[in-house]
């Protein structure tokens, strides 16, 4: 924008200066030619009294002195045909002046000034002088050069002024762009200092107001999520008491562990809703081997109860990833839960955890009916669920700098690949 404004001002300046300087340059040339013509005419007219009264020798001497002083051709044509001064044949202008008419005419060598001298005994005499081209344009080149330099100087001054004015416009716009990008990167405390014209200051104020409203709305939403999550503690307490009252110790221990896991998840939701920030200094990390191993051990009990064969290929740790343990556990639970929710009992599945060039890759494959298109879209489900499971896994992958990939297995079924990036240093 700054360069375009400068280019616009330069173009306008050049057009205005051209419209002004070109006629001025032509006027300078015309004035110089007229000045030389007037000077030559005055010199020629000074000979009129001499031609009418002096003898030929005196007249010849006077003409030669004038020619030497003016550095021009000066000739006097007497009625008897005698030519005094510069011996130049009679030109058409001289022939016309011999009839009693003084005039100025253009010729190949310059501009002829001819003056008719009437009242001579033998007829009409003619005084002729030639103004050469060099005298007609004397000083014109220097004047044109001065005008050109003046035009260039004015254009440069205009560019400097335009650049300063453009800077006062571009700087506030750049600040608005920077703050908008910071807001897009979840830096909700970013604000822009209003500057520049009134319109830009108004836009800056509107952007700051928008950022403030986003903070308020986000804070209210997080408080509502935290409050909703906190309400789950009461039914969780009831479930814990019911589990502890079971007569079978194994069942009581298993249900108590499930309630503990659910309580940890609720606690994590509350903590993230209230205290989660953009973490500008880096991503929270965890050991993917430990987290995935724990969640697979939990789901293996349910797999055994439902007659599912689990094939495990878990690389030994540590396998650091750039996502928190709670988020990775939630993502693993969502993916493994989908296997149990959307495939018939007895459907085998495979869990593989291995290092990846960009971090760690978690693969969960089953021999079920497969996965419909658009399954990652948040809230979209064709199986009666909430439609949030794959979205949770996808957000965990993107938070670590990775991605979620879905495809079909070679023999049918679904293959979910969760690529997790390494933690930032």
Please tell me the distance from the alpha carbon of residue 7 to that of residue 166, in angstroms, as a whole number.
11
Q: Which of 275, 310, 328 is the last residue of a domain?
A: 275
Residue 254's pLDDT band (cuts 50, 70, 90): confident
What residues form DSSP beta bridges with 129?
A: 74, 113
Does the pLDDT at position 388 exceed 70?
no
pLDDT score recorded for residue 42: 93
Does the pLDDT at position 369 exceed 90?
no
Q: Are 75 and 62 in contact, with CB atoms under 8 Å apart?
A: no
The per-residue pLDDT for range 51-69, each reduced to its tens digit, is 878 788 888 899 999 989 9
pLDDT score recorded for residue 359: 87
pLDDT score recorded for residue 417: 92
pLDDT score recorded for residue 329: 87
pLDDT score recorded for residue 418: 92
Q: Which H/E stretch holds residue 264? A: helix 249-275
**Which residue range forms the structural domain that includes residue 342?**
286-421
Q: List the one residue out of 68, 59, 43 whose CA is nearest residue 125.
A: 59
pLDDT score recorded for residue 278: 40
Does the pLDDT at position 161 exceed 80?
yes
Which of 73-77, 84-88, 114-118, 259-263 has the weakest average pLDDT? 259-263
The alpha carbons of the chain give a radius of gyration, in whole angstroms, of 50
pLDDT score recorded for residue 187: 83
Does the pLDDT at position 378 exceed 90?
no
- Tell me if 213 is assigned to some domain: no
- Structural domain total, the chain: 2
Strands 349-356 and 73-77: unpaired
Q: Which DSSP category does 423 fall into?
A: P
The per-residue pLDDT for range 119-156, each reduced to its tens digit, is 888 889 999 999 999 999 999 999 999 999 998 999 89
Does the pLDDT at position 230 exceed 90?
no
Instruction: Tell me the residue length of the chain.
Output: 425
- Tell me if 134 is assigned to some domain: no
- Mean pLDDT is highest, among 155-164, 218-227, 316-325, 347-356, for 347-356
Question: In CATH, what number is assigned to the domain containing residue 350?
Answer: 3.30.565.10
Q: Which of 243, 275, 307 is the last residue of a domain?
A: 275
pLDDT score recorded for residue 360: 92
Q: Assign 260 to helix, strand or coil.
A: helix
Residues 242, 367 within the same domain: no
Class of residue 117 by CB neighbours under 10 A (exposed 0-12, middle 13-18, buried 19+) = buried
Which of 2-11, 228-237, 298-307, 311-320 has the weakest average pLDDT? 228-237
Class of residue 146 by CB neighbours under 10 A (exposed 0-12, middle 13-18, buried 19+) = exposed
pLDDT score recorded for residue 350: 92
The per-residue pLDDT for range 289-325, each reduced to its tens digit, is 999 999 898 888 888 888 889 999 998 878 999 888 8
Residue 375's pLDDT band (cuts 50, 70, 90): low
Please tell me the distance from the alpha carbon of residue 18 to that of residue 148, in angstroms, as a whole number.
10
What per-residue string of b and e applies to 47-85 under the rule 16 or more CB within 10 Å gives b? bbebbeeeeeeebeebbeebbeebebbbbbbbeeeebbb
pLDDT score recorded for residue 384: 45
- Tell me if 383 is assigned to some domain: yes
Residues 264, 364 within the same domain: no
- Tell me if 344 is assigned to some domain: yes
Residues 304, 385 within the same domain: yes
Q: Which DSSP category does 316 fall into?
A: -
Across all residues in the chain, what is the average pLDDT?
Answer: 83
pLDDT score recorded for residue 279: 42
Q: Which of 275, 301, 336 is the last residue of a domain?
A: 275
- Tell me if 339 is assigned to some domain: yes
- Tell me if 375 is assigned to some domain: yes
Q: Rounded to 5 degrees, what angle do the CA atoms 151, 157, 158 make?
A: 90
pLDDT score recorded for residue 274: 53
Residues 261, 305 within the same domain: no
The per-residue pLDDT for range 166-208, each reduced to its tens digit, is 877 788 888 888 988 888 887 888 898 888 788 888 988 998 8
Q: Assign 396 to helix, strand or coil.
A: helix
Residues 306, 416 within the same domain: yes
DSSP letters spanning 73-124: EEEEE-TTS-EEES--PPPHHHHHHTTT--EEEEETTEEEEEEEEEEETTEE
Residues 260, 300 within the same domain: no
Does the pLDDT at position 44 exceed 70?
yes
Residues 298, 413 within the same domain: yes
- Tell me if 309 is assigned to some domain: yes
Residues 265, 290 within the same domain: no
Global pTM exceeds 0.85: no
Residues 270, 290 within the same domain: no
Residues 292, 416 within the same domain: yes
Which of 43-57, 160-174, 367-381 has the weakest average pLDDT? 367-381
- Tell me if 96 is assigned to some domain: no
pLDDT score recorded for residue 197: 81
Residues 256, 325 within the same domain: no
Q: Are 102 and 116 in contact, with CB atoms under 8 Å apart?
A: yes
Residues 336, 416 within the same domain: yes
């Amino acid at each position: 924008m700054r360069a375009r404004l400068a280019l616009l001002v330069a173009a306008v300046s050049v057009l205005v200066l051209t419209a002004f300087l070109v006629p001025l340059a032509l006027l300078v040339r015309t004035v110089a030619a007229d000045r030389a013509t007037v000077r030559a005419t005055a010199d020629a007219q000074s000979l009129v009294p001499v031609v009418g009264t002096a003898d030929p020798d005196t007249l010849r001497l006077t003409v030669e002195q004038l020619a030497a002083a003016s550095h021009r051709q000066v000739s006097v044509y007497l009625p008897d045909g005698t030519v005094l001064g510069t011996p130049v044949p009679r030109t058409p202008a001289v022939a016309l002046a011999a009839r009693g008419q003084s005039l100025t005419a253009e010729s190949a060598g310059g501009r002829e000034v001819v003056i008719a001298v009437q009242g001579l005994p033998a007829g009409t005499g003619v005084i002729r002088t030639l103004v050469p081209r060099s005298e007609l344009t004397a000083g014109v080149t220097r004047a044109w050069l001065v005008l050109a330099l003046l035009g260039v100087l004015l254009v440069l001054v205009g560019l400097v002024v335009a650049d300063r004015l453009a800077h006062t416009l571009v700087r506030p716009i750049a600040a608005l762009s920077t703050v908008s990008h910071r807001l897009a990167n979840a830096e909700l405390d970013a604000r822009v200092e209003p500057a520049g014209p009134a319109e830009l200051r108004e836009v800056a104020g509107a952007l700051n107001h928008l950022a403030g409203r986003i903070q308020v709305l986000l804070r209210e939403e997080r408080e509502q999520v935290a409050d909703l999550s906190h309400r789950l503690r009461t039914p969780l307490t009831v479930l814990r008491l019911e589990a502890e009252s079971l007569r079978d110790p194994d069942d009581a221990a298993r249900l108590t562990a499930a309630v503990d896991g659910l309580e940890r998840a609720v606690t994590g939701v509350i903590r993230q809703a209230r205290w989660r920030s953009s973490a500008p200094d880096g991503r929270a990390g965890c050991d993917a081997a430990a987290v995935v191993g724990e969640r697979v051990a939990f789901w293996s009990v349910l797999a055994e109860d439902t007659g599912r064969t689990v094939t495990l290929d878990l690389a030994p740790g540590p396998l650091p990833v750039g996502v928190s343990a709670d988020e990775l556990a939630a993502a693993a639970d969502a993916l493994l839960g989908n296997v149990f929710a959307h495939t018939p009992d007895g459907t085998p599945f495979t869990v593989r955890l291995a290092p990846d060039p960009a971090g760690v890759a978690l693969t969960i494959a089953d021999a079920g009916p497969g996965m419909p298109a658009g399954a990652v879209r948040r809230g979209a489900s064709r199986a009666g669920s909430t439609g949030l499971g794959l979205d949770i896994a996808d957000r965990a992958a993107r938070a670590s700098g990775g991605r979620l990939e879905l495809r079909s297995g070679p023999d049918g079924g679904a293959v979910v690949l969760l690529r997790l990036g390494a933690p930032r240093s």
